[in-house]
Amino acid sequence: MAKHPIRKFQRLTTGDDAFRAKFRSWDMTELSYVDIREYLKDKDTVLVPMASTEQHGPHLPLYTDTITAIEVAQRVSEAIGVFHTPPIWTGYSPQHMHLPGEGRGTITIKASTLNALMYDVARSLIHHGFNRIIFINGHGSNTKVVDPVLRKLRYETGALIGFVRPYMERYVGVLEGLMENPPEETPGWHSSELETSQDMAYDPDLVRMERAYPEMAHIPSFLPKSFQKKMMECQMWNSKVTNTSPSQWIIMNLWNQELLEIQ
Ligand SMILES: [Zn+2]
């Protein structure tokens, strides 16, 4: 992981300085079981960031979706004083494999593997006393395959199981009106304005804007025009987004705000 600038995240809770002072990190893997026990005396929430490792065009890193999940988890942890785990760094991305030998770098796992992985992670956490497991998901396609494991965990254990859906073109949520590029450039799709902004906010050195170029997804000629996807495929349409773009931090902050509302 590249080094990213150290930032101070916003705190939303007050009166909990003594509790916060007990922990040197909100990443539970940086602590010992003494800290875990201490935490569980007061709280039982844990965030589990999860996303993918998949190609994001020539200008963004494979880790783009996971960066989003990590960043949101870290911010929420600091905002309300809760633990998070390290990220589940791979997910369900068969559509990003492309042809054999093309070297895209995507590492995908089967839906059943992802379900099993999430299940085992959550059951371990529940075993120790965590009772509210919030998966902070940063990859759209994971949402299509996780319903069985979320229900299974809930029905088997009674724990509160949360799953955060990332905002995108068709699920704009709090991002409404924030993206600056025109709708025909589909700024909320894969590798476009939204994801490029988020990567830049995380670490500008990870983004290679000089490699970005416009490309629309296209359909085989034998299919009718109505099958045309109204989306970008893997490339940034224009370079209006910069690391000083006002939208980039707002997008991340709004994400967090909405997550907090469900806590
Ligand atoms: Zn992505």
Distance (Å) from CA 187 to ligand 1 centroid: 12
Distance (Å) from CA 168 to ligand 1 centroid: 9
Q: Which of 78-82, 205-209, 223-227 has the lowest mean pLDDT?
A: 223-227
CA pair distance 51, 62, nearest whole angstrom? 11
CATH fold of 17-261 reads: Rossmann fold (3.40.50)
Cβ 241 vs Cβ 248: under 8 Å = yes
The residues, any chain, with a CB within 8 Å of residue 179's CB and separated by 6 or more, are 187, 188, 193, 194, 247
Give 55 Cα–ligand 1 centroid separation in angstroms. Answer: 8
Tens of pLDDT, residues 64-80:
999 989 988 998 899 89
According to DSSP, residue 192 is labeled: S
* Residue-wise pLDDT tens digits, 208-218: 988 887 766 66
Cα 37 to middle of ligand 1, angstroms: 36
**Cα 63 to middle of ligand 1, angstroms:** 8
What local confidence, expressed as pLDDT, does residue 213 receive? 79
Closest of 103, 97, 58 to residue 213, by C-alpha: 58
CA of 69 to the centre of ligand 1 (A): 11
DSSP designation for 181: S
Q: Give the pLDDT confidence of 245-256 residue by residue, as tens digits.
A: 444 444 555 555
Burial of 146 (0-12, 13-18, 19+ CB in 10 A): buried
Q: What's the 25 CA to ligand 1 centre distance in angstroms?
A: 27
